[in-house]
Amino acid sequence: MTSPETWNLCLAILVGAGYREVPARAIIGRCLSQYKEEDVIEAFQDAAGKVDPVAYARKILSKKPRKINGRSSSSAAGQNSRPQMLTAGSDFVDESPASIETARKVIEQMWDVLKRR
| pTM, to two decimals | 0.59
Residue ranges per structural domain of the chain? 4-73
What angle (nearest 5°) sits at the alpha carbon of residue 53, between those of residues 99 and 42?
A: 140
The pLDDT assigned to 54 comes to 94
Residues 55-110: tens digit of each pLDDT: 999 999 999 998 876 565 544 444 444 444 444 444 445 566 666 777 778 888 88
Residues 10-69: tens digit of each pLDDT: 999 999 999 999 999 999 999 999 999 999 999 999 999 999 999 999 999 999 998 876
What is the full DSSP assignment across 28-94? HHHHHHHS-HHHHHHHHHHHTTSSSHHHHHHHHHTTSPPEETTEEHHHHTTS--PPPPP-TTTS---
Look at residues 27, 89, 81, 36 and name the one whose alpha carbon lies nearest to residue 63.
36
Q: Is 61 exposed, middle or buried (0-12, 13-18, 19+ CB in 10 A)?
A: buried
The pLDDT assigned to 82 comes to 43
What angle (nearest 5°) sits at the alpha carbon of residue 58, between those of residues 54 and 64?
A: 150
Helix axes 4-16, 53-61, angle to 10 degrees: 130
